[in-house]
Amino acid sequence: MENQTITAIQGIKVGHAHNLNAGTGCTVILCPPNTVGGVDQRGGAPGTRETDLLRPMHLIQHVHAILLTGGSAYGLNAAAGVMSYLERQGIGYDVGVGVVPIVPAAVIFDLDFGMADIRPDMHMGYQAAETASALPVQVGCVGAGVGAKVGMLNGIQFACKSGVGSVAITLGEGVIVGALMVVNAFGDVIDDDGTILAGTRQAPEGRSFIDSFSALSQLALMPSMPTNTVIGVVATNAKLNKEEANKVAQMAHNGIAQAVRPAHTMYDGDTIFALATGEFKQGNVNVLGAYAAKAVAMAIRQAVEVATPLGNLPTGKHIRENISW
């Protein structure tokens, strides 16, 4: 069967590690040599690591891995495990006395799902990197998607389960654009026609959704807000420089706006990394960015469609089709 996930891009590998009982995990994307990285961060509540390195006018040009993790800011500790794994392989930025692996990272807030005192750590990060492969990416409630949910307008008891989604789109002349997204959105995930695929339920045992966008007026009356985020990676096998990779990451955020309503709120930490492996000739930034947005939207929708019930949360499919969970 044809690989239609981000690992369809030669050299990219993906690994997951998680603790289902604790309701958290992490996902690692390993990059082939000389992969150029970029980033764009849009949400108002980010948790990130090493993102400044990816911006233009900074020394580092190439990245060695990306970490997407649960555990909020605590989960950034898992990056040390990814670095340790890469160092043992001799992979990293050469500093003369050794190598320093470049591992940018972003987190989702899943401390309210499962056990708040158990988070991704160095061991889990190492495990995810060690098990990374070029096989089609496992999607759903795995890795960083274990604690993911959507539709948080009225709190987690009204939310739906989400997870990880990954797709690849093949363009002309063998160029591929892929995406891997971890979907932990405050808003609802919607289809192209505006149908709510997963979101805020009317009641804890409810069998229908409310429209979070239409209900935004309730926010002024809420004493506190949950913390959320959609994070992910877009990648291409075309050649891009650092500035172009950042532009593709920027354009890829349009996919979040297409699939999540509302998107990029102050309660989300929405962050997208862009990777360009350079296997093919110079890429057209406009085309790659447009298709990166499409891939992001597709991966977000897939993440909620393939999710399974976990932690007493149903999936959007269970609500839409009135299936018990």
Q: How confident is the model at residue 225 (pLDDT cuts 50, 70, 90)?
A: low
Decide if pLDDT at 243 tops 50. yes
Packing angle, helices 122-130 and 78-88, rounded to 10: 50
pLDDT, residue 182, reads 98
Q: What is the CATH number of domain 6-320?
A: 3.60.70.12
Question: Is 28:14 a contact under the CB 8 Å cutoff?
Answer: yes
pLDDT of residue 218: 64
Among the listed residues 292, 289, 280, 283, the one whose alpha carbon sits nearest the alpha carbon of residue 32: 280
Reduce the DSSP state of residue 13 to 3 states and report it.
strand
Separation between Cα atoms, residue 269 and residue 66, nearest integer Å:
16
Q: Give the residue-averaged pLDDT of 77-85.
A: 98
| pLDDT above 60: residue 222 | no
Three-state DSSP class for residue 87: helix
Write down the pLDDT at residue 204.
Answer: 77
Question: Between these two residues, 216 and 168, which has the higher pLDDT value?
Answer: 168
Tell me what the pLDDT averaged over the chain comes to. Answer: 93
Q: What is the pLDDT of residues 105-131, one digit of tens each?
A: 999 999 999 899 999 999 999 999 999
Report the percent of the chain where pLDDT is more than 90. 79
Mean pLDDT of 225-236: 88
Q: Is the pLDDT of residue 223 over 60?
A: no
Q: For 250-263, write each residue's pLDDT tens digit.
A: 999 999 999 999 88
pLDDT in tens, 30-66: 999 999 999 999 878 889 999 999 998 898 999 999 9
For 267-302, what is each residue's pLDDT tens digit? 888 999 999 999 988 889 999 999 999 999 999 999
Note the pTM of the prediction, 2 decimals. Answer: 0.95
Q: What are φ and ψ of residue 49, in 5° steps? A: -145, 135
High-pLDDT (> 70) share of the chain, %: 97
Q: What is the pLDDT of residue 127?
A: 98
